[in-house]
Amino acid sequence: MRQDRNIKEKGHDPYDEGRKYSEGTYCPDCGAVYQQGRWVWPEKAVKDGEPLFCPACRRIRDDFPAGEVLFTGTYLENHGKEVLNLIQNIIDGAKERTPLKKVIELKQNRGEILVRLTDDHLARQIGDAVYRAYSGDLELKYSDEEKFVRLYWHRDE
Ligand SMILES: [Zn+2]
């Protein structure tokens, strides 16, 4: 079963991720470079501009995620490692493609996995992938104004 719900909240995207930077601006934290309208990894660009934290590193510094996914249920007691591997693979793939999709926190407690991310689409991608691979229940709550999404996945054995 899946359920999507829109939470109407006031506010806006405080990280102004659509803004334009000067060509060559680079992030002193992760080394990403702003080139032709987007942040890329430096092997594809030249750091010849000003240092300025990229939106993902600003979110990490502020501990302010754009997306969160919480996995719960007794299914994780025996299959937590597989689910965690799938999550980690998606995270690694996303990080290779763009500097803006980063993990703020990934933690596993007994029967529970929480991942907090700098990107809302990455959160949806992770939730959808686990739902496709392991079924269970997936619930999604999002706020358009704040560009924030929270997903809840649950499966009991
Ligand atoms: Zn950065």
Estimate the share of the chain in helix, then strand, then coil, as percent rounded to the nearest 5. Answer: 30, 30, 40
Based on the fold, state whether residues 46 and 83 are members of the same structural domain.
Answer: no
* Inside any domain, residue 44: yes
How many angstroms is it from 119 CA to the middle of ligand 1? 13
CB 56 within 8 A of CB 138: no
Res. 20 pLDDT band, cuts 50 70 90: confident
Based on the fold, state whether residues 82 and 149 are members of the same structural domain.
Answer: yes
Count the residues in the chain: 157
Based on the fold, state whether residues 41 and 115 are members of the same structural domain.
Answer: no
Based on the fold, state whether residues 67 and 26 are members of the same structural domain.
Answer: no
* Inside any domain, residue 7: no
Based on the fold, state whether residues 81 and 25 are members of the same structural domain.
Answer: no
Residue 1 CA to residue 96 CA, distance in Å, equals 32
> 143 pLDDT exceeds 90?
no
* Inside any domain, residue 25: yes
Residue 63 CA to residue 48 CA, distance in Å, equals 28
| Better-scored residue on pLDDT, 8 or 67 | 67
Count up the domains in the chain and report the number.
2
How many angstroms is it from 40 CA to the middle of ligand 1? 10
Range of the domain at 43: 18-53
How many angstroms is it from 48 CA to the middle of ligand 1? 16
> 94 pLDDT exceeds 80?
yes
- Model pTM score: 0.86
CB 90 within 8 A of CB 103: no
Average of per-residue pLDDT across 125-129: 98
Question: Locate tokens 């995620």: which residue?
Answer: 65
How many angstroms is it from 1 CA to the middle of ligand 1? 37
* Inside any domain, residue 3: no
Res. 4 pLDDT band, cuts 50 70 90: low
How many angstroms is it from 59 CA to the middle of ligand 1? 9
